[in-house]
Amino acid sequence: LMELCLRRYYVPQNLRRSGIVRSNKESLNNGGSADIYHGFFGSYEVAIKSFRIRQDTAAYVQKAFAKEAMILSTLNHPHIVKFRGVIMDGVELCIIVDWMPHGDITDYVRNTPRADKEDLINQVALGLEYLHTKGVVHGDLKGENVLVDRRGQARLGDFGLSSVEKAEYQNLIETDSAWFKDLELSGLPECTVTVVTTLLTTVGGTPRWMSPERLTPSEFGRTSAKPCTASDVWAFGLLCYEVSRARIMPCLLRC
């Protein structure tokens, strides 16, 4: 089913939802590929991830949307954001997940002095372990993509760069280089920007949290910079620093 849906850019009818009510007209967060809105689905308070569709990227957006929706639909864990369905109404493509009122984990520990940081880190580890046992690579693990629910529990979110480590799916979930042409890289050292720009023509991610073998794969005898479970573990280590210090780790990239 996963292979069929990804080949056809198709999301099964049983995942499609209606009756979603947005509570705001302006997006709360503008990501690289989508805008986030707050809303309601019946009694559920939800986040609405609305994919931006342009003529030159429409085919890629459809594929990215189907991939993320299908991956999320297979996940069910207390430390993964709860998937509620999708909107496909001929005008927009949206993914619906539960609303996380405490925002991301770095802001949460910064604003909550009594937060149990060790327990939060353990919760992220449990969520990541679950992903890997399902054969799913997150691909962009960082504080901004770990959210905190109303009970103060950490949940992994934003699966836009996730992939499935199954050979039959690999060719179906490659990332299109055009998607990353507007990424802001000016904060990196000049010589590193060249490396990262080349890297992003193949795969996506956030350079600060990328493992060395993803940034410069040839130096490690690799032909690909695609994320894997090991690179997720590297990013998890940096996330531990973020949570324990309540701030982003200094950039490790060097010329």
What residues act catalytically?
140
Ramachandran assignment for 235, one of left (phi > 0), alpha (psi -120 to 50 degrees), beta (any other)? alpha
As given in the structure block, the two tokens for residue 204 are 């996506």
Structure token pair of residue 156: 């992994």
Maximum separation of any 2 CA atoms in the chain, in Å: 52
Which has the closest alpha carbon to 225: 183, 197, 189?
Answer: 197
Q: Are 71 and 162 in contact (CB under 8 A)?
A: yes
Residue type, 212: P
* Residues 57 and 118 sit within 8 Å (Cβ to Cβ): no
Cα separation, 57 vs 61, whole angstroms: 6
